[in-house]
Amino acid sequence: MEHERSNMECEAAVNNCLSVAEQTGWLAGAKQMHDKGVPLHVAARVMLFPKQRRATDWSGTTRH
């Protein structure tokens, strides 16, 4: 069974920030994650380890 995130707001912020990163660069996406209060360990995982992203971390963005 897949583990669901308990913080849907954080998940939405991550998805939005990944979209920003795809469109305007990873630095802008990382800054937006910080500004939206995404926990550092979550931001680090999705930004530094793209192969470890959850399926829901993509939100329609293209995988690199």
pLDDT at 58: 56
The answer to whether residue 23 is domain-embedded is: yes
| pTM of the predicted model as reported, rounded to 2 decimal places | 0.67
The answer to whether residue 61 is domain-embedded is: no
In sequence order, which ranges of 1-64 are alpha helices (DSSP H)? 8-24, 26-35, 40-48
Q: Find the domain containing 44 and state its range.
A: 8-52
Domain count, the chain: 1
- The model's pLDDT over 10-53, given as tens digits with 9 standing for 90+, comes to 888 898 998 888 899 989 989 999 999 999 888 888 888 877 77
Is 59 a residue whose pLDDT tops 90?
no
Over residues 57-61, the mean pLDDT reads 53
Return all residues near 42 (Cβ < 8 A) that are at least 6 apart. Answer: 10, 14, 33
Do residues 45 and 52 make contact, with C-beta atoms less than 8 angstroms apart?
yes
**Joined tokens for residue 41:** 């360990």
The answer to whether residue 33 is domain-embedded is: yes
